[in-house]
Amino acid sequence: MSSTVSHAARTFEVRHLQLARALFAALAAIMITFSPDHSAEVGLAVFSGWAIATGFVELLAAWLVYRPGARALPLLLGVLTVVAGMVGGLPGIRTVALFFVLVIVWAFATGIAELVGGIRGRGVTEDARDQILLGAFALALGVGLLLVNPAYSLEYFIKEAGESYTLTGITIGVGLFGAYAAFVAVFLGIAGFSPRRAITADTEEPASADSAGEPA
């Protein structure tokens, strides 16, 4: 009975965490998509704001959403993401090299953590499958950035516009992060509005709440 009461009294659920992350990811994707400047300064500024906001949401969710035995993963993700955001927020060191190193390290660190946490949480937490996919998305971002040469530069001319443009490695890198943010926003937005599974984030045994009130 105590598990049922605890779940009924809980104000915030996994869906609220997913929707909050989707919102911040959507804002980051929109800022990058509609910005004509895909420099390291802009890319790191957007990454920094998104990471700090998302990290704090994860840290709050560790206490407001998850049961005590399931708080390690959101705490780890929150700390890693906030630290990455704070490093990217230092304006004096916003270089092309920092963008690639910082985002790649963050992507692999959080991707592995979320992927492993999701695999271990299968059958225990309702968002385990989502965590597995989000971890894979982050790892894909890291791999994609590793394949980009930061020093790459290609000049091309568009006849219709009558102007020459330059495609650089940082432009591709910032664009990849924007694509990642857009994908996460759509995925978590759908997950947040989808019907909940029977397993809840604050109980290890999903059947215990249903059977607690039944007579022996």
DSSP strand E in the chain: where? 153-158, 163-168
Average of per-residue pLDDT values in the chain = 85
Token pair of 57, please? 């949401």
Residue carrying structure tokens 């943010």? 181
Domain map (residue ranges) of the chain: 2-206
Token pair of 43, please? 């890319």
pTM: 0.83
Q: What is the pLDDT of residues 26-48, one digit of tens each?
A: 999 999 999 988 999 999 999 99
pLDDT higher at 8 or 46: 46
Cβ neighbourhood burial of 35 (10 Å; 0-12, 13-18, 19+): middle
Residue carrying structure tokens 């929707």? 19
- Output the pLDDT for position 199: 46
How large is the greatest C-alpha to C-alpha distance in the chain, in angstroms?
81
Q: What is the pLDDT of residues 101-137, one digit of tens each?
A: 999 999 999 999 999 999 998 877 788 899 999 999 9
